Amino acid sequence: MPTSAERPTSADRPTSAERLRPLPYDHPVAQHLVERVQQEYVVRYGGRDAAVVDPADFTPPAGLFLVAEVDGVPAGCGAWRVLPSGEVEIKRVYVEPAFRRRGLARRLMAALEDSAARAGHRSVVLNTGQQQPEAVALYTQLGYRAVAGYGVYACAPDAVFLGRELEQSSRTQDTEGNEGGEGISWAS
């Protein structure tokens, strides 16, 4: 498990107004970010993600889709869902290029992991690929380790499958059940 030094700290907190907001997967803002993820896959892999995604999979309490906003601008996203096997899978972690290298992906991952832990899950898995070395590096720094392949990419030669045990969170920041645009704010 990652040590507290590997998790976001107050030094990682942004200076601009930033928040994470749960949205339905099929919300227009969420769909815009999902399309941006797909465009990145086309550039890196030559095609869109072929994994089947049902928007209902990301509906609390069985899943979650988060949008990260910086100064009110959609800057990134991430989600988790429960697979038919019962494992929790993190999906669609993405940060717009203009907002990268600010720790936003780390904060998204921490919020997703905390949400899954609060929902009673003990571990998470994800898949990425060798064409996303920055993602592999981030997940490894967060304590993810190689796991068996699963799903549509189980036998893909450049697929990377990772997982980790979740810590039972004592965080008080809530990412679920916020209506009317409420969300996590890290602004000072």
pLDDT tens digits for 14-54?
Answer: 557 899 999 999 999 999 999 999 999 999 999 999 888 99
Residue carrying the six token digits 């697979």: 83
For residue 125, is it within any domain?
no
Write down the pLDDT at residue 51.
Answer: 85
Does residue 36 lie in a domain region?
yes
- CATH number for the domain spanning 55: value is 3.40.630.30
State mean pLDDT over 123-136.
96
Rg (CA), the chain: 15
Q: Which two tokens stand for residue 134?
A: 């920055």
Q: What is the pLDDT of residue 171?
A: 45
Q: Is residue 85 part of a domain?
A: yes
For residue 148, the Cα-to-chain-centroid distance in whole angstroms is 20
pLDDT at residue number 167: 86
pLDDT value for 22: 98
Give a yes or no: residue 145 inside a domain. no
Q: What is the pLDDT of residue 174?
A: 45
- The answer on pLDDT for 177 being more than 90 is no
Q: By residue range, what is the domain housing residue 34? A: 4-119
Q: What end-to-end distance do the CA atoms of the chain give, in Å? A: 29
For residue 68, is it within any domain?
A: yes
Cβ atoms within 10 Å of 172's Cβ, excluding its own: 5
Number of domains making up the chain? 1
Residue 131 inside a domain? The answer is no
Q: Going by C-beta distance under 8 Å and a sequence separation of 6 or more, which residues neighbour residue 181?
A: 21
Give 86-116 pLDDT, tens digit per residue.
999 999 999 999 999 999 999 999 999 999 9
In a domain, 11, yes or no: yes
Among 55-59, 81-85, 170-174, name the one with the lowest average pLDDT. 170-174
Residue 63: predicted pLDDT:
97
| Closest CA relative to residue 177, chosen from 124, 109, 120, 115 | 115
Q: Distance between CA 19 and CA 181 in Å, rounded?
A: 10
